[in-house]
Amino acid sequence: MQKVLVVDDDAHIRDVVCFALRREGFDTLEASTGRAAVEKAEAEQPDLIVLDVLMPEGDGITVCKQIRQSSIAPIIFLSSKDAEADRIKGLDIGGDDYVTKPFSVRELIARIKAALRRIDDQPVVLESHLSIGPLNMNIESRSASIYDQMLDLTRTEFDLLTAMARQDGIVLARAKLVSSAYAANRIVSDRTIDSHIRRLRKKLRNLGVDPIHTVHGVGFRLSFK
């Protein structure tokens, strides 16, 4: 039974979401503050986390950063803040999805299932390592390095980099990147992909390389040439 941690300072929201999850066969955990969320995530190792943004004792953004230090479980933000900048920030710091309040519980459950499906449906890969120029990737351990300096990547960033590395020098359309990094039937906007690519580029540039090239109107390609 997959375990979902629901974090929100509103008890009614926790009750409604947890009831719907249990009806769908999930085990549920609850936390009402940021501090409790971090402690429960470390102790219980949930398969997925639904995380409110505005909470006492640690907002969702801070909590996400802390959880990401030890967990790659999908994180779906819940927030009344629906500005594009807020959504991008949530994705940039390691969130996998962003749902604005008020929200449909049925849609949230569908998004939870999609995020978990992406993990379950990871394709079997024949190669355990990819090496392109200074980039080295270990597919099994989901680690990557540039000139032997480790890259700190989220799950989505790693999947996007893997998809581009497997097609070295070939332009990949956004739709192809979505199919490589997200669950089937998941609707992902171009802005979401661009946000993840922008953050990935920044991490690569911090290590002295800039191999991701934008082909306007088409997509992206990875090349160290």
Say whether pLDDT at 124 is over 60.
Answer: no
What digits encode the pLDDT tens for the residues 15-35?
999 999 999 999 999 999 999
Reported pTM: 0.57
Q: Where are the domains positioned within the chain? A: 3-120, 129-222
Q: What is the pLDDT of residue 123?
A: 46
Same fold, 3-120 and 129-222: no
What pLDDT is attached to residue 86? 78
Report the distance separating Cα 222 and Cα 211, nearest Å: 5
Q: Provide the mean pLDDT of the chain.
A: 87
Q: What is the dihedral of CA 15, 18, 100, 103, to 10 degrees?
A: -80
* Cα separation, 53 vs 84, whole angstroms: 15
* pLDDT at residue 90, rounded to an integer: 80
Span 129-222: which CATH code?
Answer: 1.10.10.10
Q: What angle do CA 77, 83, 87 make, to 5 degrees?
A: 35
pLDDT tens-digit map of 38-53: 999 988 989 999 999 9
> Looking at the domain that runs over 3-120, which CATH code has it been given?
3.40.50.2300
What average pLDDT score do residues 168-175 get?
82
pLDDT bin (cut points 50, 70, 90) of residue 134 is very high
181 class by beta-carbon count within 10 Å (0-12 exposed, 13-18 middle, 19+ buried): buried
